[in-house]
Chains A and B, each alone.
Chain A
Amino acid sequence: MAGKTLYDKLWDAHLVRTNEDGSALIYIDRQILHEVTSPQAFEGLRLAGRKPWRIDANLATPDHNVPTTARAGGVDQIVDPVSRIQVQTLDSNCDDFGIVEFKMNDHRQGIVHVVGPEQGMTLPGSTVVCGDSHTSTHGAFGALAHGIGTSEVEHVLATQCLIAKKMKNMLVRVDGELGAGVTAKDVVLHIIGVIGTAGGTGCAMEFGGSAIQSLSVEGRMTICNMSIEAGARVGMVAVDEKTIEYFRGRPFSPKGEQWDRAVEAWKDLVSDADAEFDHVVEIRAEDIKPQVTWGTSPEMVLPVDANVPNPEAEADAVKADGIRRALKYMGLSADQKITDIQLDRVFIGSCTNSRIEDLRAAAEVVKGRKVAATLKQALVVPGSGLVKEQAEKEGLDKIFIEAGLEWREPGCSMCLAMNPDKLGQGEHCASTSNRNFEGRQGFGGRTHLVSPAMAAAAAVAGHFVDVRELMNQ
Chain B
Amino acid sequence: MRKFTQHTGVVAPLDRANVDTDMIIPKQFLKSIKRAGFGPNLFDELRYMDEGQPDQDCSGRPLNPDFVLNLPRYAGSSVLLARENFGCGSSREHAPWALDDYGFRAVIAPSFADIFYNNCFKNGLLPIVLNDSQVDQLFKEVEANEGYQLTVDLERQVVVSPSGEEFAFEVDGFRRHCLLEGLDDIGLTLQNADSIKAYEERRRQEAPWLFDAIHN
Query: Are chains A and B native binding partners rather than an unrelated pairing?
Result: yes
By a beta-carbon cutoff of 8 Å, the part of chain A in contact with chain B is 16-17, 19, 21-23, 25, 27, 29-30, 36-37, 39-40, 43, 48, 50, 53, 55-59, 64-65, 80, 82-83, 85-86, 89, 100, 120-121, 123, 125-126, 131-133, 135, 146-152, 154-155, 158-161, 163, 165, 197-198, 201-202, 228, 231, 233, 252-254, 258-259, 261-262, 265, 297, 318-319, 321-322, 325, 416-418, 435, 437-440, 443-444
B84 at the interface (CB under 8 A from A): yes
Q: How far is the CA of A321 from the CA of B212 in the complex (A)?
A: 54
Query: Contact partner of A132 among B91, B111, B173, B177, CB < 8 A?
Result: B91
- Chain B residues with Cβ below 8 Å from A29 are 210
Q: Kindly state the separation between the CA atoms of A165 and B56 in the bound complex, as whole angstroms.
A: 40
- CB atoms of B85 and A21 under 8 A apart: no
Q: Given A149-B119, A252-B213, check contact A437 B31 (CB 8 Å).
A: no
CB B115 to nearest CB in A, in angstroms, measures 6
For B123, the closest partner residue in chain A by CB is A151
Q: Are A48 and B186 in contact (CB under 8 A)?
A: yes
Q: Are A23 and B172 in contact (CB under 8 A)?
A: yes
Which of chain B's residues have a CB closer than 8 A to the CB of A259?
A: 209
Are the CB atoms of B33 and A40 closer together than 8 Å? yes
Chain B 180-216 per-residue mask, 1 if CB under 8 angstroms from chain A, else 0? 0000011011101101100110010011111111111
Contact of A163 with B174 at beta-carbon distance under 8 Å, contacts A27-B196, A83-B31, A418-B31 already known = yes
Apart from A37-B92, A85-B33, A152-B122: 8 A-B pairs, beta carbons within 8 A: A40-B34, A53-B196, A56-B213, A155-B185, A258-B208, A318-B84, A418-B31, A438-B23
| Known A-B contacts A23-B172, A86-B33, A418-B31; A201 and B91 likewise in contact (beta carbons under 8 Å) | no
Whether B91 lies near A19 (C-beta < 8 A) is: no
**Complex contacts, A197 vs chain B, CB 8 Å:** 18, 85, 88
With A and B bound together, what is the CA distance between A30 and B214 in angstroms?
10
Query: Can you identify 19 A-B contacts, CB atoms within 8 angstroms?
Result: A16-B199, A27-B199, A39-B33, A40-B33, A40-B34, A50-B186, A100-B215, A131-B93, A158-B186, A158-B189, A161-B189, A163-B188, A201-B113, A233-B115, A262-B209, A297-B18, A321-B16, A418-B28, A440-B27
Closest Cβ–Cβ distance, residue B122 to chain A (whole Å): 4
Is B185 in contact with A151, judged by CB distance below 8 angstroms? yes
Task: Report the separation of the CA atoms of residues A154 and B96 in the bound assembly, to the nearest whole angstrom.
Answer: 16
Whole-angstrom distance from the CB of B69 to the nearest CB of chain A? 16
Q: What's the least CB distance linking B107 to chain A, in Å? A: 15
CB < 8 Å neighbour of B31 from A56, A65, A228, A231 = A65
Q: A57-B214, A154-B186, A418-B30 are in contact. Are A37 and B91 (CB under 8 A)?
A: yes
Chain B interface, number of residues (Cβ within 8 angstroms)? 64
Taking the complex as formed, is B83 at the interface, i.e. its CB lies under 8 A from any CB of chain A?
Answer: yes
**In the complex, are the beta carbons of A198 and B85 less than 8 A apart?**
yes
Please give me the residue from chain B that is nearest to A129 by CB atom.
Answer: B91
- Shortest beta-carbon distance, A135 to chain B, in Å? 8
Q: Among the listed B114, B122, B206, which residue makes an inter-chain contact with A201, where contact means beta carbons less than 8 Å apart?
A: B114
Check A437–B22 contact: CB distance below 8 A. Answer: yes
User: Are B214 and A27 in touch, CB under 8 angstroms?
Assistant: no
Q: What is the distance, in angstroms, from B20's C-beta to the closest C-beta of chain A? A: 5
What's the Cα separation between A147 and B91 when bound, in Å?
6
The residue in A86, A319, A437 that gathers the most chain B C-beta atoms within 10 A of its C-beta is A437
**A23-B174, A39-B33 known; A147 and B115 CB under 8 Å?**
yes
Please report the C-alpha to C-alpha distance between residue A126 and residue B207 in the assembled complex, in whole angstroms: 10
- Give residues 36-63 of B contacting A (CB, 8 Å): 45, 51, 54-55
Residue of A nearest to B189 (CB): A159
A231-B88 in contact (CB<8A): yes
The interface residues of chain A lying within 8 Å CB-to-CB of B27 are 416-418, 440
Residue of A nearest to B50 (CB): A443
Q: Does B70 contact A (CB under 8 A)?
A: no
A246-B190 Cα distance, complex, nearest whole Å: 36
A83-B188 Cα distance, complex, nearest whole Å: 34
The CA-CA distance from A439 to B41 in the complex, in Å, is 14
**B209–A254 contact, CB under 8 A?**
yes
Q: Are A201 and B90 in contact (CB under 8 A)?
A: no
- Which chain B residue shows the least CB distance to A48? B186
Query: Quick check: A27 and B200 within 8 Å, CB to CB?
Result: yes
In the assembled complex, which residues on chain B have CB atoms less than 8 Å from the CB atom of A318?
17, 83-84
CA–CA, A202 and B88, complex, Å: 12
Contact, CB under 8 Å: A151 / B122:
yes
Q: Which A residues are CB-close (under 8 A) to B161?
A: none
Residues of B within 8 A of A82 (CB): 31-32, 54-55
CA–CA, A148 to B174, complex, Å? 18
A158 engages B18 (CB within 8 Å): no
Nearest chain-B residue to A255 (Cβ)?
A: B209
Q: Closest chain B residue to A80 by CB distance?
A: B31
A262 vs B55: C-alpha distance in the bound complex, in angstroms? Answer: 50
Check A21–B185 contact: CB distance below 8 A: no
B147 interface residue (CB < 8 Å to A): no
Chain A: CB-nearest residue to B119: A149
B84: chain A residues at CB < 8 Å are 198, 318
Give the top 9 A-B pairs by smallest Cβ distance, nearest first: A254-B209, A151-B122, A149-B93, A147-B91, A149-B119, A39-B33, A23-B174, A443-B51, A21-B173
Query: Of A36, A322, A438, which is within 8 A of B30 by CB?
Result: A36
| Nearest chain A CB to B126 CB, angstrom units | 15
Residues of B near A125 (CB, < 8 A) are 207
Interface residue B3 (Cβ < 8 Å from any Cβ of A):
no
Q: Which residue of A lies closest to B211 (CB)?
A: A56
| A435, B89: Cβ atoms closer than 8 Å | yes
A30 to B196 CA separation, bound complex (whole angstroms): 15
